[in-house]
């Protein structure tokens, strides 16, 4: 049964009265000026990775889907917030999706994880349901309405995690054949050692699941985090070879990374490959 859990963050179109440089001076140095953005995203034909969802008219998906991937603490939230600011100043409406944010099962998945009652297969299927719900009810309708959808992680994280837990790769690729191929996928790459520092800066702790503690590598959270993130990164490399997303150096200043992301998203809006 549906009920409001964690709604997607939706931001309406901002009319863009002024360029970013006309904003009040912030303490950080202003980003380098960029050429004005195209107002209406240039349409490009979308496709699903596999079987997709039936009854979807791909030609009507006028918006753009941009995915930011990366481990816990890699800076995804930071970069998505900056992209939202920049896009909205340019007059684009945005919507944000991410893992475990569906109204359908996010709370149940949370509960099941707390109780540690899921097998690797049922956990993967739970996450797949969470993804499918957001795809059907948020991503596709938003793209139909011309929104820029910013996804904080996508099927690749789900596949990499499941592959570390030894689920069959062909089965996973088939399962996620439901997914729409994004217009751009950018993976923020950092070493596990840097990720530990970031996570401590953020929450002063490491997350149980992001440390792969369920896999029993080590009783020590640090040790487990380093081993687990290393394994996930290896699976990401494998997935990169299949799905061809971009891997960028996440170990730079937020502003430097943002400028690179802007260029890629601007290319997407203009209908060019990032």
Ligand X SMILES: Nc1ncnc2c1ncn2[C@@H]1O[C@H](COP(=O)(O)OP(=O)(O)O)[C@@H](O)[C@H]1O
For position 257 contacting ligand X by CB under 6 A, the verdict is: yes
Q: Pairing relation of β-strands 9-11 and 94-98?
A: antiparallel
Residue 70 CB, shortest distance to ligand X, in Å, is 5
Cβ nearer to Mg ion, comparing 77 with 218? 77
Question: Binds 272, which of ligand X, Mg ion, none (CB < 5 to 8 A, cut-off by type)?
Answer: none
161 in contact with ligand X (CB under 6 A): no
d(CA 88, CA 151): 16
Residue holding tokens 């290393």? 230
Q: Does 98 bind ligand X (CB under 6 A)?
A: no
How many CA atoms are closer than 13 Å to the CA of 134, on its beta-carbon side? 30
> Is residue 78 at the binding interface for Mg ion, with CB under 5 A as the rule?
no
Q: Enumerate residues 6+ apart whose C-beta is below 8 A from 140.
A: 53, 56, 61, 180
Question: Measured from the CB of residue 125, what is the shortest distance to ligand X in angstroms?
Answer: 25
Binding span for ligand X by CB under 6 A among 1-9, 72-80, 87-95, 157-165 = 72-80
Instruction: Using CB under 6 A, pick the residue from 52, 69, 74, 235 that binds ligand X.
Output: 74
Which of 75, 182, 192, 274 lies at the binding interface for ligand X (CB under 6 A)?
75
Q: Which is nearer to ligand X, 41 or 73 (CB)?
A: 73
The single residue among 8, 14, 44, 77 that binds ligand X, judged by CB under 6 A, is 77
Distance CA 232, CA 155 (A): 13
Nearer to ligand X (CB atom), residue 100 or residue 198:
198
121: Cβ contacts below 8 Å, ≥ 6 apart:
167
Nearer to ligand X, 137 or 191 (CB): 191
Q: Please measure the distance between the N-terminal and C-terminal CA atoms of the chain and give it in whole angstroms.
A: 39
Does residue 28 bind ligand X (CB under 6 A)? no
- Please say which residue, 79 or 90, places its beta carbon nearer to Mg ion: 79
Q: Indicate which single residue of 11, 77, 113, 129 sits in contact with Mg ion (rule: CB under 5 A).
A: 77
Q: Do residues 30 and 257 lie in contact, with contact meaning Cβ atoms separated by under 8 Å?
A: no
Instruction: Quote the radius of gyration of the chain (alpha carbons, Å).
Output: 19
83 close to 6: Cβ distance less than 8 angstroms: no
Cα–Cα distance, 182 to 151 (Å, whole number):
9
Given the complex with ligand X, which of 176 and 187 has the nearer CB atom? Answer: 187
Give the C-alpha separation, 84 to 101, whole Å: 18
Using CB under 6 A as the binding rule, whether residue 133 contacts ligand X is answered as: no
Q: Is 68 in a helix, a strand, or coil?
A: strand
Taking the complex as a whole, how short is the minimal distance between the CB of residue 110 and Mg ion, in angstroms? 16
DSSP 4: -
Restricted to residues 180-209, the positions that interact with ligand X (CB under 6 A) are 198, 201-202
Looking at beta carbons only, is 74 or 102 nearer to ligand X? 74
Helix%, strand%, coil% for the chain, nearest 5? 45, 10, 40
Interface with ligand X (CB under 6 A): 70, 72-78, 198, 201-202, 253-254, 257
């Amino acid at each position: 049964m549906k009920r409001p859990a964690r709604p997607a963050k939706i931001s309406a179109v901002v009319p863009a009265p002024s360029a970013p440089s006309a904003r009040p001076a912030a303490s950080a140095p202003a980003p380098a000026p960029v050429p004005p953005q195209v107002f209406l995203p240039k349409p490009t034909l979308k496709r699903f990775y596999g079987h997709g969802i039936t009854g979807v008219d791909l030609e009507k998906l006028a918006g753009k889907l941009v995915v930011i991937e990366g481990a816990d603490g890699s800076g995804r939230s930071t970069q998505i917030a900056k992209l939202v600011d920049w896009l909205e100043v340019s007059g684009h409406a945005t919507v944000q999706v991410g893992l475990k944010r569906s109204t359908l099962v996010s709370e149940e998945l949370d509960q099941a994880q707390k109780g540690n009652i899921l097998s690797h297969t049922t956990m993967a299927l739970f996450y797949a349901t969470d993804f499918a719900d957001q795809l059907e009810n948020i991503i596709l309708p938003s793209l139909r309405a011309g929104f820029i959808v910013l996804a904080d992680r996508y099927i690749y994280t789900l596949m990499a995690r499941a592959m570390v837990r030894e689920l069959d790769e062909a089965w996973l690729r088939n399962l996620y054949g439901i997914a729409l191929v994004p217009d751009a996928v950018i993976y923020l790459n950092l070493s596990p050692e840097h990720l530990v520092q970031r996570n401590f800066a953020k929450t002063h702790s490491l997350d149980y699941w992001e440390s792969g503690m369920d896999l029993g590598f080590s009783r020590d959270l640090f040790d487990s985090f380093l081993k687990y993130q290393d394994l996930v990164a290896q699976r990401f490399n494998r997935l990169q070879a299949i799905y061809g997303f971009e891997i960028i150096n996440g170990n730079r200043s937020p502003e430097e990374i943002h400028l690179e992301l802007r260029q890629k998203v601007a290319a997407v809006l203009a209908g060019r490959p990032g």
